[in-house]
Structure 1
């Protein structure tokens, strides 16, 4: 059975066209599914735009629905979303950010991930993604990392992460080693600061969870917070001020950048 997709505009458009053609032809979802080898629920998924139709589906459904090539033409424009829809607003702001401050608690931030680490993160997703979806998302994540090397103007970046993220061997030992080495390389960049929040720290200001703060070209600060299947951009000045202060406290409670580098080097030496 195909994995369920996040859905994309092209998938939703294809689904709407397919449903309209089926309805006009007076054919039930069960009958279409039987003809193309899909269950009724899979046909519903295609028509709602949450399932990517197979090539077989398109080739068999087009003549069966008397589409005269309409589905074949529409299928040529099908694509999967490389990012969840609720992440798009943040991505647009991130592209032009002058400053980016990040606190992470679950995995190393996507902007700092190696290709192997990112692939392992996406491969662990439940429900499972199809291989082509994993590769599309990995490449999209790597493309985002151009922000690290943007020159005009450079983006000043601060990352604070929980120490335990340095211990979980996501992707296996070799991938883990490569990820720690990559963090050390990035820490040498003048626009990047990496700090570790030590596990032995009994209390700190980050207990409310991860967050991204960014400064726009207009020097407005925005905050992005993310949870299960949802992300929220915050622009209310009072809330942004509160989270700005919280991040500043988190950064002051974490290890200094130099000490953070020494910790990463120590853990790398122990592998």
Structure 2
């Protein structure tokens, strides 16, 4: 198949950076290895050499080799182009869903899986607006502020992973979700005034959902158990639970009853000291009106 690619440079290792396979992600490696093998078998089945396919698809040969050998994660558009060039009738494009999951960091996938199964989610966040509550623009600004900085592609990867977790709000039956946010991050105009306004508007939108309780911890208040950092509690339909605290148990997730009771006591105390839900939404509305 003759394709004129002179007007557009081939996409190579540099332009496609950020799509490496996590060496510690066994499931991800298995998925990408399988996808690469299917791409290679399809290319060979139609009698196309790597060089011919690379030119037709608009990618560098080295990148094609690495994708087919399971060393690189193919972008969704790569799979679409391969499907078109190799006449796969949608079979290669259909692998995009699994490939997209591999792009999300392993620990983010694990957290999203637990949130997807939880019937109750409790979260206290002290330094930032909770990831589940962030808009795309706010998340991009927060992640982009890291030092040393992430590559633009890695930023987009992490933003996509964070936004994917918001599917928890669309579940049926809906889980009961409780948030406690500190006042200070709500006042920080991350990303500029308009991004900040849209973030506050989003908080109001989510905070008014029937299954969501949103509380604000005012700065002018007594010391509370959340000063050591983030606390998260997830409860499941079988009665089991898992929790994590930045300030306890070395920050590791715990599921034994003794540790969970400590986290529940801390989180309950935090909720009791925070503004009630109605007053919290009124506080956010007031912040929005001050801009």
TM-score for the superposition, normalised by structure 1: 0.71
Write out per-residue CA displacement over residues 36-59 of structure 1, whole angstroms, 9 at most, x where no aligned residue.
xxxxxxxxxxxxxxxxxxx76936
Aligned length: 220
Seen in structure 2, the aligned counterparts of structure 1 residues 231 and 132 have a Cα distance that, compared at 3 Å, is farther
Give distance in 2, aligned partners of 1:102 and 1:251: 10
**Structure 1 gap segments, 5+ residues each:** 18-54, 60-68
**Residue matched to 2:118:** 97
Match among 174, 191, 215 for residue 195 of structure 1: 215
How far the C-alpha of 1:87 sits from its partner, in A, is 4.3
**What secondary structure does 2:228 align onto?**
coil
**Residue matched to 2:143:** 122
Please say if residues 90 and 233 of structure 1, whose CA atoms lie closer than 8 Å, have aligned partners that are also in contact.
no
**Structure 2 gap segments, 5+ residues each:** 1-13, 34-58, 75-99
* 2:128 matches 1:107: yes
**Residue matched to 2:268:** 248
**Residue matched to 2:198:** 178
Write out per-residue CA displacement over residues 117-145 of structure 1, whole angstroms, 9 at most, x where no aligned residue.
01111111222112122112212211210
Please list, as runs of the form range in 1=range in 2, the aligned pairs for 1:1-271 lying within 5 A after superposition: 8-9=22-23, 58=62, 71=66, 73-74=68-69, 77-78=72-73, 82-151=103-172, 153-225=173-245, 232-271=252-291
Write out per-residue CA displacement over residues 157-192 of structure 1, whole angstroms, 9 at most, x where no aligned residue.
000011101111111111000000111111110001
Please say if residues 104 and 161 of structure 1, whose CA atoms lie closer than 8 Å, have aligned partners that are also in contact.
yes
How far the C-alpha of 1:78 sits from its partner, in A, is 2.2
Please say if residues 104 and 157 of structure 2, whose CA atoms lie closer than 8 Å, have aligned partners that are also in contact.
no
**What secondary structure does 1:126 align onto?**
coil
Q: Which has the higher contact order (CA 8 A, sep 6+)?
A: 1
**What secondary structure does 2:118 align onto?**
coil
TM-score for the superposition, normalised by structure 2: 0.67
**What secondary structure does 1:98 align onto?**
strand
Give distance in 2, aligned partners of 1:218 and 1:99: 12
**What secondary structure does 1:214 align onto?**
strand
Seen in structure 2, the aligned counterparts of structure 1 residues 208 and 199 have a Cα distance that, compared at 3 Å, is same
Seen in structure 2, the aligned counterparts of structure 1 residues 189 and 130 have a Cα distance that, compared at 3 Å, is same
Give distance in 1, aligned partners of 2:67 and 2:267: 51
